[in-house]
């Protein structure tokens, strides 16, 4: 009995120490950013972990470790950016997130071929769900196999099609940023809807990749709630991973250090996950009309490019389709999504996936959807909010597909 007690104690202690506690980490919230501070914010974002995209006219939130806090405070003071502590200590929030996830994992078992919308699913569960769905729907669903992640996980998605040749193609990927857990349920909902409605398959071939960063997502769900990057080790550094949404081979920029949350990688497409997605998009450039990457947190809908405020040639079409989608989301009770050029907020990015899909001339319509945040930490909606977010987002994505098919636009070069 005493032995059993020790084992139980060991297990409890073991699980308590299994993840990064974020003890003493704070989240600072700035006043709405002004254009003149944006060059400094861009530089800071290469060192510190901004949650969401810093944008002119809106407050920014930055997560700081106990070691970083005083430096970031003094930098913000020097820049005369007023700010406050939004979260005093992240530890209880992280603990609560993991405890809730553990409790819900026990309470809500996964059923075969049924996506779960009242808790977050693990990578293994989603992969099993994909395989079961493909097996159960021959002639409609087929496996989208984009190769292996750095740690050897399969980059698996689903193609849904009516089988006709020459159909236009639409693409959705989720959770290329590991900590953005609200995205995969939205991808799973797309699969559910397109499976259930042959009319949607008559519109287009649908490619859906529910977890675009399997290693990172797995790590975030077990070890580190705020893990964002891939899990490839960096030579000579204790800092692991590359920001996959800076690693695509379009205007890739080498700036950034290993420890940065936006480290772009040693070279474009150094990450097999990005190369797998990018090569597929390039190979299907002729049929692809729409590319959508689902992220959090916003809400905001962004369209190319991320490196310049100069409008792309078909910016009016991109804005119109995005606005049609945003209008529907709002009309079904969702939040207001502003629709903007990625760089409109004067925060500049290079090597993002939507810029790649658009920039190489594959998809004339390309977007990043930043889904809503929520929960006590602000970043991640609690499990109880998944169903609502999925319900309000799907009609907007459906509208986006219908609109882009009804209103062909001219890709950059094709
Ligand atoms: Zn993201």
**Ligand 1 centroid distance, CA of 61 (Å):** 14
Residues in CB range of 218: below 8 A, 6 or more apart: 122, 123, 124, 153
**Ligand 1 centroid distance, CA of 298 (Å):** 10
**Ligand 1 centroid distance, CA of 38 (Å):** 20
Is residue 101 a part of any domain in this protein? no
pLDDT tens, 266-315? 999 999 999 999 999 999 999 999 999 999 988 999 999 999 999 999 99
CATH of the domain at 316: 3.40.630.10
Shared domain for 232 and 370, answered yes or no, is: yes
Shared domain for 246 and 164, answered yes or no, is: yes
**Per-residue pLDDT, 13:** 43
Q: Which two tokens stand for residue 343?
A: 């760089």
Shared domain for 139 and 71, answered yes or no, is: no
**Ligand 1 centroid distance, CA of 232 (Å):** 18
**Ligand 1 centroid distance, CA of 177 (Å):** 5
> Which residue of the set 84, 370, 392, 402 is catalytic?
370
169 has which bridge partners? 205, 288
Is residue 149 a part of any domain in this protein? yes
Shared domain for 19 and 124, answered yes or no, is: no
Secondary structure E strands in 283-395: 288-298, 300-303, 339-341, 365-372
**Per-residue pLDDT, 414:** 53
Shared domain for 147 and 216, answered yes or no, is: yes
pLDDT beneath 70: ranges in the chain: 1-17, 376, 414
The DSSP annotation for 293-319 comes to EEEEEESEEEES-SS-SSPPTTHHHHH
Shared domain for 85 and 121, answered yes or no, is: no
**Per-residue pLDDT, 413:** 78
**Ligand 1 centroid distance, CA of 81 (Å):** 24
Is residue 237 a part of any domain in this protein? yes
Shared domain for 332 and 201, answered yes or no, is: yes
**Per-residue pLDDT, 17:** 53
Is residue 2 a part of any domain in this protein? no
Shared domain for 117 and 151, answered yes or no, is: yes
Nearest alpha-carbon partner for 181 in 149, 217, 212: 217
Shared domain for 300 and 151, answered yes or no, is: yes
User: 36, 57, 89: which is the final residue of a domain?
Assistant: 89
84 in active site: no
**Ligand 1 centroid distance, CA of 135 (Å):** 31
User: 38, 58, 89: which is the final residue of a domain?
Assistant: 89
CATH of the domain at 31: 3.30.70.340
Shared domain for 202 and 65, answered yes or no, is: no
User: 59, 89, 119: which is the final residue of a domain?
Assistant: 89
**Per-residue pLDDT, 52:** 84
Is residue 1 a part of any domain in this protein? no
- Residue 17: which domain range? 13-89
Q: What separation in angstroms does the CA of 343 have from each of 272, 302, 334? A: 27, 9, 24
Is residue 55 a part of any domain in this protein? yes
Q: 23: helix, coil or strand? A: coil
Residues in CB range of 43: below 8 A, 6 or more apart: none
Is residue 148 a part of any domain in this protein? yes
**Angle, CA 342 vertex, CA 381 and CA 210 arms, to 5°:** 45
**Per-residue pLDDT, 311:** 96
How many separate domains does the chain show?
A: 2
Is residue 37 a part of any domain in this protein? yes
Shared domain for 210 and 258, answered yes or no, is: yes
**Ligand 1 centroid distance, CA of 162 (Å):** 31
Shared domain for 290 and 384, answered yes or no, is: yes
**Per-residue pLDDT, 8:** 45
C-alpha span between 206 and 191 (Å, rounded)? 9
């Amino acid at each position: 009995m005493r032995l059993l007690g020790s084992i139980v104690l060991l297990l409890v202690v073991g699980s308590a120490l299994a993840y990064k506690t974020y003890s003493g980490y704070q989240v600072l919230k700035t006043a709405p950013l002004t254009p003149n501070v944006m060059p400094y914010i861009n530089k800071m974002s290469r060192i510190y972990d901004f949650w969401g995209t810093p944008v002119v006219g809106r407050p920014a939130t930055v997560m700081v470790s106990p070691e970083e806090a005083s430096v970031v405070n003094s930098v913000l003071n020097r820049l005369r950016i007023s700010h406050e502590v939004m979260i005093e200590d992240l530890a209880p929030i992280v603990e609560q997130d993991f405890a809730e996830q553990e409790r819900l994992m026990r309470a809500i078992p996964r059923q075969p071929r049924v996506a779960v919308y009242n808790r977050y699913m693990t990578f293994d569960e989603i992969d099993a769900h994909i395989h079961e769905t493909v097996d159960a729907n021959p002639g409609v669903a087929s496996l989208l196999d984009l190769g292996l992640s750095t740690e050897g996980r399969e980059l698996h998605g689903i193609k849904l099609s009516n089988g006709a040749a020459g159909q236009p193609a639409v693409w959705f990927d989720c959770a290329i940023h590991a900590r953005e857990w609200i995205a995969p349920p939205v991808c799973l909902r797309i699969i559910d809807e397109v499976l259930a409605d042959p009319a949607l398959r008559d519109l287009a071939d649908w490619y859906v990749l529910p977890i675009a960063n399997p290693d990172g997502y797995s790590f975030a769900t077990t070890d580190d709630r705020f893990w964002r990057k891939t899990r490839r080790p960096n030579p000579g550094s204790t800092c692991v991973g590359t920001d996959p949404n800076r690693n695509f081979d379009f205007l890739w920029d080498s700036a950034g250090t290993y420890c940065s949350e936006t480290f772009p990688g040693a070279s474009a497409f150094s990450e097999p996950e990005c190369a797998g997605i990018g090569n597929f998009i390039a190979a299907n450039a002729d049929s692809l009309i729409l590319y959508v990457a689902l992220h959090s947190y916003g809400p905001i809908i962004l369209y190319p490019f991320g490196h310049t405020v100069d409008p792309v040639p078909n910016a009016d079409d991109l804005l119109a389709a995005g606005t049609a989608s945003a209008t529907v989301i709002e009309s079904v009770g969702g939040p207001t999504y502003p629709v903007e050029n990625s760089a409109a907020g004067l925060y500049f990015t290079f090597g993002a996936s939507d810029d790649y899909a658009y920039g190489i001339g594959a998809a004339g319509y390309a977007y990043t959807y930043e889904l809503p945040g929520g929960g006590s930490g602000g970043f991640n909606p609690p499990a109880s909010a998944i169903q609502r977010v999925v319900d309000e987002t799907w009609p907007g994505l459906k509208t986006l597909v219908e609109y882009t098919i009804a209103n062909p636009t001219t890709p950059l070069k094709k």
